[in-house]
Structure 1
Amino acid sequence: MCAWAAPQPGCHRDIVTLNDVSFSFDGKPVLSHLSFRIQERDFIGLIGPNGAGKSTLLRLIVGLLTPDSGRIELFGAPADQFKERELIGYVPQKNNFNPLFPATVREVVMSGLFGRRKLFRRVTRQDADRCMDALRTMQIEDLADKRIGELSGGQQQRVFLARALISNPQLLILDEPMSGIDAETQQNFFHLIRHMHQKHNITFLMVSHDMEMVRSYLGEEPKETSGKLSFFVRHSHDLEDCAETDLLHTVRKEG
């Protein structure tokens, strides 16, 4: 169990718990007996070389992979029984789309509002406004009516960042979220997630190769290591909440 996992008086609830989790691919161990706990409003920066299992770990947490052994819990429930998937925003490292995929950018971003149980509900004006806010936040409002398959890789990444943010997730999992993104958008996005962590009830787990960003916000040294993985940790358990309920207000462009 990692050092930050020990329960403390007044600490927040557990968001992710991994207990003795192992995973192999084609018989080759990728993760071995990994245990750690992420509490509400933690920001975890995950660093490691290629092949260390960073993306595999994220895919295990979001349910795209199943561990060979061990137990994963999300918001206190066993991962295989967890139903509130809309509480989790996830941006994978790469998204490859068939150029003929029919969905528009607006439709892809809007889909982030709909869990499986809400898939067929009517789109409200508030939904449309939040979608436009998300598009503006990632500076892609001019792409709203283009098909996702027509975009460059960097443009697609901004679409999926907008999709992950639109539903106000309680857990945001980011796998190299700034891959292929221009410097200005990177700066805006880091400003956004720092504010979200400090002033909103959001828990973060992020893989990044940007060591300068990780160390500037999460500290120079990892709190824990497991194999080749290093976990940098920052807590925001006692900070004052922002009066705004709209997570996108920090970077919204004024007209």
Structure 2
Amino acid sequence: MQSVSLDCHQHMIEIQDLSFAYGEQKVISGLNYTVKERDFLGIIGSNGAGKTTLLKMIVGLLPPTGGDIKLFGESVRKFKDWERIGYVPQKNAFNPLFPATVREVVLSGLYNNKNLIRRVSKAQQRQCEDALEVMRIQDIAGKRVGQLSGGQQQRVFLARALINHPDLLILDEPTVGIDAETQSSFFELIFHMHAHHHMTFLMVSHDIDMIKNYLGHEPVQRSGKINFYCRHSHEAQDCVEENLQHTLV
């Protein structure tokens, strides 16, 4: 018998005295926050509050002006394991005229510094098919992304972010420009994923009601104009049960 100690509260993101400014304009100042394993963190704030700027710093697209961000215990400045993080940027970052099929866009989630021009393996093709199936878009895999509805496009980008089976999924206003019915089904999908899959979520959203209904009506922290709402997908008892399941190896 071998006892295995599992930490159900591993620190996925540690934001430490973080600051950012565009020239003389301070956007974020002295922010501290820790995202733990299997948290669902919702971020709400007014335009210009620094929400997207924060996400871009977390995924390494912008360098902090001050402080640091740690991903899985390592500074973002040195972090290399980007396949552990899925990122869906704002929809307006996508050029609808880009000549790529759904399958090609999803497969592009596999490309990184380790795999730029290598041929796609059978295992990676299987990963792609799995992601298409999870998002229920396998029937449109051969269509051009620019031909799809807003809701279909967001499913494609979510499949792209999921293809590496990331530990952390980051979403920047994923339902902008999508009709209300599709928004509702999209939120149901990601809330289900959080409740039933071993993933941590970080999402910026303008849908205050949807965020509050799932994550609670009061923010766990306020920083400047940014409000943080958080829900953990399981309680301490579940951590005990998981530890017991790993006692025998």
TM (norm. structure 1) is 0.81
Is residue 2:29 matched to residue 1:32?
yes
Per the alignment, residue 72 of structure 1 pairs with 69
Deviations 1:137-174 (A, max 9, x none): 44543442334455565543332122112221111000
Is residue 2:39 matched to residue 1:16?
no
Deviates more, 1:23-32 or 1:147-156: 147-156
How far off its partner does 1:198 sit?
2.2
Is residue 2:95 matched to residue 1:97?
yes
How far off its partner does 1:48 sit?
0.5
Q: 1:188 to 1:122 in 2, by over 3 A?
A: farther
Contact 1:22 1:68 in 2 (8 A): yes
How far off its partner does 1:235 sit?
1.2
Structure 1 segment 101-112 matched on structure 2, within 5 A: 101-112=98-109
Deviates more, 1:200-209 or 1:221-230: 200-209
How far off its partner does 1:127 sit?
3.0
Amino acid at match of 1:44: L
Per the alignment, residue 117 of structure 1 pairs with 114
Contact 2:42 2:211 in 1 (8 A): yes
Amino acid at match of 1:96: F
Per the alignment, residue 84 of structure 1 pairs with 81
How far off its partner does 1:110 sit?
1.0
**What is the alpha-carbon distance in structure 1 between the residues aligned to residue 49 and residue 103 of structure 2?**
35
Per the alignment, residue 201 of structure 1 pairs with 198
SS where residue 117 of structure 1 aligns? coil
Is residue 2:219 matched to residue 1:222?
yes
Contact 1:134 1:163 in 2 (8 A): yes
Of all paired residues, the percent bearing the same amino acid is 57
Gaps of 5+ in 1: 1-8, 242-255
Amino acid at match of 1:161: L
How far off its partner does 1:136 sit?
4.3
Count of aligned positions: 232
Q: 1:143 to 1:199 in 2, by over 3 A?
A: closer
Per the alignment, residue 135 of structure 1 pairs with 132
How far off its partner does 1:124 sit?
3.6
**What is the alpha-carbon distance in structure 1 between the residues aligned to residue 191 and residue 9 of structure 2?**
19
Deviates more, 1:223-232 or 1:138-147: 138-147
**What is the alpha-carbon distance in structure 1 between the residues aligned to residue 167 and residue 8 of structure 2?**
16
Per the alignment, residue 56 of structure 2 pairs with 59
Deviations 1:58-84 (A, max 9, x none): 001001101111111111001010000
Contact 1:22 1:31 in 2 (8 A): yes
**What is the alpha-carbon distance in structure 2 between the residues aligned to residue 120 and residue 39 of structure 1?**
35
Amino acid at match of 1:12: H
Amino acid at match of 2:76: A
Amino acid at match of 1:80: R
**What is the alpha-carbon distance in structure 2 between the residues aligned to residue 81 and residue 152 of structure 1?**
38
Contact 2:151 2:182 in 1 (8 A): no
Deviates more, 1:148-157 or 1:13-22: 148-157
SS where residue 171 of structure 2 aligns? strand
